[in-house]
Structure 1
Amino acid sequence: MLNNDILIRLRYALDIKDTDMAEMFRLGGVDMRKEDVQLMLKKVDEDEYDELPEDYIRVNNAMMEQFLNGLVTFKRGKRPGETGAPPLTGESVNNQLLKKVKIALSLTSEDILELFDLAGVRVSKGELGAILRKEGHKNYRECGDKFARNFLKGLTLKNRE
């Protein structure tokens, strides 16, 4: 799953405006205009990934992490004493998605399990805990695309119905 697809799904699930997305990128340390955000959010079929439109802006992992950091700052405000954008960790985008959305929306682990349940997926507390752990921890588990899609699906079902 492309990072652009994650942005499209997250934007829909949380009903985020283009101007707010540009602000989230700015808060994360990326200078982005509303027009740039619209170019990122163009829908591209999977079979067209090799031949992307000329004006299409592909979101790399660093930009995605900066956006997620900006989402947290946008929703919760800056930490006391924090200046500038948080440093990049280089962790898996899907793991960061779960962690940062959890922080931004003040979700508990039970809330996340409920979101997975809404999407029709059974996840144990242990599995979720492994995904939310820091990379390098002995019980760390990388979050796959299917897991991330189901998380965003549950988020969408909860917020849009």
Structure 2
Amino acid sequence: MNNNDILLRLRYALDLKDTEIIEAFQLGGLTVSKEEERAMLTKDPSRQQEANDPFEKNVYMKMINNQVLDTFLNGFITLKRGEPKNKPAEEPQKKSTEIRHINNILLKKVKIALALTSEDMLDILAEAGVYPSKGELGAILRKEGHRNFKPCGDKYARNFLKGLGLRYRNEGK
């Protein structure tokens, strides 16, 4: 699962509009046009291989890296929760460079943006058929470098986004 897949699945799960995605990027400090946003969410048919290979990564018109996704997630927090009241002095954030750790960042920042508790996250994962222990979830949510830190695999991230979709898209029905 690449960063474009994460953005696309998050958009579907939370039913985000184009304007909300663009606004989240702007709040995160990155100006994105509507055309760029559409390219991030559109698969490139000329570069797709045969559908027979299920392990082939999806190729999008405009691929995004970890820093761009992290910028979106920061803006998403601000979009959902508003500007922080006691904003600390600007410190340069450590940007993630490895794709396996972007999944940890995704879970942490979506948890913050939607004001979810650990119990809520366990329920969301359970809706998708994954049952981690509270300790496993805590290890995934820890800061990288902590002795109990555990990298979040694509399975947890994919099922978390699936569970979000099941919960938030079915709420209105």
Q: Do 1:94 and 1:145's aligned partners in 2 also have CA atoms closer than 8 Å?
A: yes
For the pair 1:97 / 2:118, whether they are aligned, the reply is no
CA RMSD of aligned residues (A): 2.3
Q: Cα deviation per residue 1:34-86 (whole Å; 9 max; x = unaligned)?
A: 22111100135874878956xx2111000000000000000001112438987
Q: Which residue of 2 aligns with 1:146?
A: 155
Gaps of at least 5 residues in structure 2 are 51-55
CA 1:136–1:153 in 2, change beyond 3 Å: closer, same or farther?
Answer: same
Partner Cα distance (2:140, 2:130) in 1:
15
Q: Which residue of 1 aligns with 2:78?
A: 73
**Which of structure 1's runs of 4+ aligned residues deviate more than 6 A?**
48-51, 83-86
Gaps of at least 5 residues in structure 1 are none
Q: Which residue of 2 aligns with 1:40?
A: 40
Q: Which residue of 1 aligns with 2:93?
A: 88
Q: Which residue of 2 aligns with 1:126?
A: 135
TM-score by length of structure 1 reads: 0.90
CA 1:26–1:86 in 2, change beyond 3 Å: closer, same or farther?
Answer: farther
- Give the secondary structure class of the aligned counterpart of 1:68: helix
CA 1:114–1:86 in 2, change beyond 3 Å: closer, same or farther?
Answer: farther
Letter matched to residue 101 of structure 1: V
Q: Which residue of 1 aligns with 2:3?
A: 3
Alignment coverage as a number of residue pairs:
159
TM-score by length of structure 2 reads: 0.84
Q: Give the one of 125, 131, 134 matched to 1:116.
A: 125
